[in-house]
Amino acid sequence: MDAIEKLQILGPAAADECADDVAADGRHLLAPRTPRDLAKCVSHATLPGGRRIPILKTLVSSACENDCRYCAFRSGRDVRRATFSADELARLSDQLWRHGIVKGIFLSSGLVGGGIHTQDSIIATAELLRRKYHFSGYLHAKIMPGADKAQVAETMRWSDRVSLNLEAPNANRLSTLAPRKGFSADLLQRLRWAHELATGGSSIGRRPSLTTQFVVGAVGESDLELLLTSSYLYRELGLARTYFSGFNPVPGTPLENQPPIQARREHRLYQASFLLRDYAFDVEELPFGSEGDLPLDTDPKLAWAQTHLLESPVEVNAAERHLLLRVPGIGPTTADRIVQERRKGRLTDVSDLRRLGIVVQRAMPFVLLDGHTAARQLSFWTAGTPLGSS
């Protein structure tokens, strides 16, 4: 089997791994100029700052000795498998990079010969890319359950981002989803090491960002459980992002008869996790129902504002940044713009807010402009003047 054939097996095998190629609404973004035979191996990642780049997503190996109950690559399942040698994968990645087909690489793997051996394969590939092929593009590498701390450091040394999939929000749920993985000892401990290495003044050189991924909806976990763990990861371990991968049953696995989740659940989880990460919300403030799930039909920030801000709207000319962030239609960037603009003069008109990039239709019910209900201005505008005409 040549390298391209292997890639055609191993690239699509990595499709369920999130590498920033999933928009907040769960859509998978497609690479527009990819050779047809590699179309399933290349997707776009959005880097911090918003730049989008095409990345090669692949596994080092789709063989796996583990038996996670949802996974297409669990041992014993009848599926075509392939394995790259480190040099084969590094060389192929380098060629795709030099031809401008990709600007980044995402490396993951099934478990072969234990976590330490598998991590060695990922490290060897990453090191070859950086040292032998002088690859200077974006590199995202997985940390395997069972990898040791020195390997975590070595993986970080070559990477712009490292990630380890917790898969479930706690030990109890993980025991049903992936019975041979230990939540604290095998998984969480490695995220803690990565955080220590990134913040503790070690000599690894790079400071890669850190992410994780949950499988959502396979074993009955609630949104509350997922978001409690996300909150801990953001606050205590400095994760850049927690990904939510909606469960889809795979034939020939123990969970094959389990229904898939509604795509909107992923979307609400992303919205809520951004409230925790960027908007200083606490988990307890999110609008969970009695079963601990978010309502599917309402944006969680809007639901919070309808309960808390309708009776006491936020004065745009006086509110502190953290309060501005509570208003639907105002995000971190537009909150900063409001604070800056207020230094120059008062904001008195809906057009002032629109000029700053605020989504006025969403914000209006919840704000005052110089003591006046802005919603009234908006209804005047809507009735008499085309929106966006000034």
Report the interface residues with ligand SF4, using CB under 6 A: 64, 66, 68, 71, 73-74, 110-111, 178
C-beta of 72: minimal distance to ligand SF4 in Å?
Answer: 7
Residues 6+ apart with CB under 8 A from 388: 354
C-beta of 105: minimal distance to ligand SF4 in Å?
Answer: 19
Q: Which is nearer to ligand SF4, 42 or 111 (CB)?
A: 111
Beta carbons within 10 angstroms of residue 287's beta carbon? 17
C-beta of 147: minimal distance to ligand SF4 in Å?
Answer: 12
Nearest 5°: the CA angle 329, 325, 281 is 120
Q: Which is nearer to ligand SF4, 163 or 317 (CB)?
A: 163
Q: Which residues of 176-209 are buried (b: 16+ CB within 10 A; e: fewer)?
A: bbbeebbbeebbbbbbebbbebbeeeeebeeebb
Query: Can you tell me which residue has the tokens 């701390």?
Result: 149
Q: Which is nearer to ligand SF4, 101 or 171 (CB)?
A: 171
Q: Which is nearer to ligand SF4, 9 or 283 (CB)?
A: 9
Backbone φ and ψ for 279, nearest 5 degrees, come out as: -120, 10
Q: Which residues of 139-165 are buried (b: 16+ CB within 10 A; e: fewer)?
A: bbbbbbbbbeeebbbbbbbbbbbbbbb
Quick one: CA torsion of 142, 164, 162, 155, rounded to 10 degrees? Answer: -60
C-beta of 66: minimal distance to ligand SF4 in Å?
Answer: 4
C-beta of 52: minimal distance to ligand SF4 in Å?
Answer: 27
Q: Which is nearer to ligand SF4, 11 or 110 (CB)?
A: 110
C-beta of 212: minimal distance to ligand SF4 in Å?
Answer: 13
SS3 315: strand
Q: Which is nearer to ligand SF4, 178 or 197 (CB)?
A: 178
